Structure formats: C-alpha cells, structure tokens
Amino acid sequence: MRHTVAVPMRWSDMDAYQHINNVAFLGYFETARVDLFFDHPTHDAATGLRRGLVVVAHEIAYKRSVEYDAEPLQVQIWVSDVRAALFQCHYELFDHGVLAVTGSTRLAPIDFALNRPRRLTVEERDFLAKYHDD
C-alpha cells in the first residue's frame, strides 16, 4: 500500500528560472516521510520509529520541471527492502497528476543514546509491512 501526502510548494523553493529548485524535492520527500512515520493518524505509537531514523542515502530522478503553483504536489511514499536494521522508502511526486520526480531514501533506525544503528523491532517491521510495495 502507498501513502499519499499533499505537499505545498513554498515561494522560496523557486529558482531563478521560476522552476522549483532541485534541492526542494528532498524536502518534499521528507515531508511525506514525517507524515507517514510521525504524524499519520494510523501510526502505531508502539513502533518506536518516532525515536529516531537517520538517512543513509538518497537517490532522485527528475522527470520534468515543476513550476511554482498554489496547488499542492502529491507525493506517494512506500517502503521496500526491509532488513534487520535498514529499509528503503520510495517516492513518486505528481504535479497536477503528472509524474515529475521519483526518488528513494535508505533509512536506518538509530539508538541515539549509543549513537549507532539498531535493529527494527517486530512492531516496527509490522508497521512497515503495511506500506510495503514493489
């Protein structure tokens, strides 16, 4: 299942060519991750993902330019490749229903007290399974 988030553009996201600057899209993807893992009303508070996730790597592919508009972008987010202490988030960003940007983020749960990655709990794996898609 994919989770869809409406993400507004900010005027400051625009570059000199009046397109959304490439780095803004990582922020839009982050907004979708926060909505899914921290703010989403069906989030299971027992999962512990709220305790901390760190970004290990990003990949992004620009399919077409996006111009600033008051209409929010639609970001679909889902997970795959769930391992013991690592998983992948994937994104598709739509501008007026047209696919504009795709990307992925590799995430690791972290124990901030020990300053190192930790294993996913059974509850976290169950939560991630709800949003698994290939």
Whether residue 24 has pLDDT greater than 70:
yes
User: Domain range spanning residue 77?
Assistant: 3-129
Element (H, E) at 123: helix 122-129
DSSP 8-state code for residue 44:
-
Q: How far apart are CA 110 and CA 108, in angstroms?
A: 6
pTM of the model: 0.90
Question: What is the rounded average pLDDT of the residues 29-53?
Answer: 76
Distance, CA of 61 to CA of 112 (rounded, Å) = 31
**Alpha carbons 21 and 14: distance in angstroms, whole number:** 6
Position 134 in a domain: no
Residue 39 belongs to a domain with what CATH number?
3.10.129.10
Q: Are 91 and 29 in contact (CB under 8 A)?
A: yes
pLDDT at 8: 96
Q: Is residue 23 part of a domain?
A: yes
pLDDT of 51 higher than 90: no
80 in a structural domain? yes
